[in-house]
Structure 1
Amino acid sequence: MCNFNVTENGTELGMRNTAYALVFGSVTTLGLPLNALSLWILLRRHSLKSPNAVFMVNLAVSDLLLVISLPMRVYFYATGTWPLGPMACIWITMLFRNNIRSSSIFITFICVDRLLAVVYPLRSRRVRTSSNAWKSAALVWLFVLLVNIQESVHFSRFLKENNETTCFEFRRCQTSPLRYFQPVLVFTMLAINVVCTALVSWTLHRHLSDSARVDNKVNVMLIFVMNLMMFTVFFLPVSLAVIFKSWRPAFTALICLASVNCCLDPLLYYFSFDGFWRRKEDVDTSLSRQQLNTVQKDHA
């Protein structure tokens, strides 16, 4: 993270830092109870035997890790000082980056799981298991951790070489070897979500009977629309700021915007379990019957 507005006067900088502190404080106040409650409900009331629930539990954990790091950002922007040293700064920065990376992957897993459930309900049963979901989640966390180690080493060297004494706001930019990793990851996950959304929309339009209630389609598609919104509003802008220099003066503001995603993920859990799973059974049953009829006709 870099401070590109070194020429702005102290009053403007103080107002902006106050605004950042208010945003991060609001996200902490709202995001902590929402995600803690969501995680409790997912673990207590929903079976972790479904891959969808497994991915949502991991997504909630990712959001909680982000939320618990935000109070120190509030302190930094409110006071302009950092009392915990460079390593704490590095790992709090990593928690933020982890959230964008792991959340984008878990949201994509949820999207792909919905695609398989709606478009390939029979053929995907062996793939859509809780065991495979837990293995995939473990690989995601291992992958993110390995990236963190490499970035942390480079981050630490940057702080020492440039004699930086503050956190989050540096006088010069980093040139990490993994600079383009996050933008490429976010773009790839977004492309997968777009394809899944298009396929599910086409399948529902083609297979749901005219007698099916309109809100069936709306509740099924709402999850995909929310996923796309997460990427385009929260993940994509801050990732593009890493590439385009013209975006970088607004980098900290985009970080504030990206942090808000952890407050909206609980809506994804609500619509998925309260609306989607009930409707999904009807969709799966309809598609399964159609496929079974096709198989019987082929063997007749």
Structure 2
Amino acid sequence: MNNTTGETKAELTYAVVFGTIMSIGFPLNAIAIWILLRHHSLKSPNVIFMLNLAISDLLLACSLPLKVYYHATGAWPLGYTTCIGVALMFNVNIYSSSIFITFISVDRLLAVVYPLRSRHIRTARNAVKAVILTWLLLIVIAILVCIEFGKHWKLYTESFCVKHQRNTITETTTESHMSDPSRIVQLILVLVLLVVNVVSTVLVSLTLRRNVKDLPEVNNRVNVMLLFVMSLIMFFVCFLPKTIGSFMKDELTYLKCIVATNCCLDPVLYYFSLDAFWKKKEERKP
């Protein structure tokens, strides 16, 4: 009885956490998209990356109401297909957010460390190409995940993608879970992108030790460094624990709660990354 009561309280806690994240993340990212489209030029690579990051986070927030319902009621009435759809919207966000955050960091790295030599690289056309390739990659990953789920669907409950595997899973299936290609690819991708962000942070930090007057692309040294600090926090707190935790036999739900918070934290990047984020285009310096 105590165990049942404890599990019920835990599920209600998860419902409250996901509900809170949804109520904060959805309006923040919706407003961010509106501001980026209305007040900023899409000729800026940084704006293009942030717009796509906000879209990715908005998709994540859209998946949370169904998670709230499941954890609050313990029931999943929407069927297997919808369940997988929610899982994809939730899990693909780790790929998309980590990639777009890295694009933002690399763009700032080039602007600060190589302001003149990188002008032909930091163009809107190249940014659009990078975004298109990223979404194509995400579609391929989503297809591979669906195929992997389909191989073992008989061994799972309908709601496995929002909670955990059934206790009747065989040892062979557990080994397959541990060697799931999508999880391995996710771990490699997150680690590689983390290294890129760490290197970018170090190079920018060393460059900013010089006189800021020598760096025409830098208007606020503190904001620049806070952007990189926020990016690293996102990786170490949100993405890496969830990615490593996905290899556990029973993936912990609280890790999913933590990774979901990135949709609330990402809008902070927009403020640090763009000068005069709230100002209209005609109010900013040319």
TM-score, normalization by structure 1: 0.83
The answer on 1:192 being equivalent to 2:176 is no
The answer on 1:181 being equivalent to 2:185 is yes
| 1:209–1:165 CA distance, 2 compared to 1 (3 A) | closer
* SS at 1:126 equivalent: coil
Letter in 2 for 1:54: I
- Mapped partners of 1:251, 1:149: distance in 2: 24
The answer on 1:164 being equivalent to 2:179 is no
RMSD: 2.2
Q: For 1:44-82, what per-residue CA distance to the aligned partner results, in whole angstroms no more than 9, with x for missing partners?
A: 100010100000000000000000000000001011111
Maintained 8 Å contact 2:109/2:200: yes
Alpha-carbon distance, 1:12 to partner? 1.4
1:125: which partner in 2? 119
| 1:12–1:206 CA distance, 2 compared to 1 (3 A) | same
1:290: which partner in 2? none
1:258: which partner in 2? 259
Alpha-carbon distance, 1:177 to partner? 2.6
* SS at 1:179 equivalent: helix
Alpha-carbon distance, 1:250 to partner? 6.1
The correspondence for 2:5, drawn from 8, 11, 26, is: 11
- Mapped partners of 1:98, 1:196: distance in 2: 24
The aligned runs of 1:1-300 (5 Å cut-off) are: 9-160=3-154, 162=155, 164-167=157-160, 168-169=162-163, 170-171=165-166, 172=169, 174-175=177-178, 176-208=180-212, 216-243=220-247, 245=248, 251-274=252-275
Letter in 1 for 2:268: L
Is there any run of 5+ residues in structure 2 with no aligned partner, and where? 280-286
| 1:63–1:110 CA distance, 2 compared to 1 (3 A) | same
Maintained 8 Å contact 1:183/1:240: yes
1:293: which partner in 2? none
Alpha-carbon distance, 1:275 to partner? 6.1
Is there any run of 5+ residues in structure 1 with no aligned partner, and where? 1-6, 279-300
- Mapped partners of 1:17, 1:156: distance in 2: 27
Q: More displaced, 149-158 or 266-275?
A: 266-275
Alpha-carbon distance, 1:183 to partner? 1.2
- Mapped partners of 1:120, 1:131: distance in 2: 19
Maintained 8 Å contact 1:197/1:224: yes
Alpha-carbon distance, 1:206 to partner? 2.7
Q: How many residues align?
A: 264
Maintained 8 Å contact 2:45/2:127: yes
User: Percent same amino acid at aligned positions?
Assistant: 51
- Mapped partners of 1:166, 1:221: distance in 2: 42
Alpha-carbon distance, 1:22 to partner? 0.4
Letter in 1 for 2:209: H
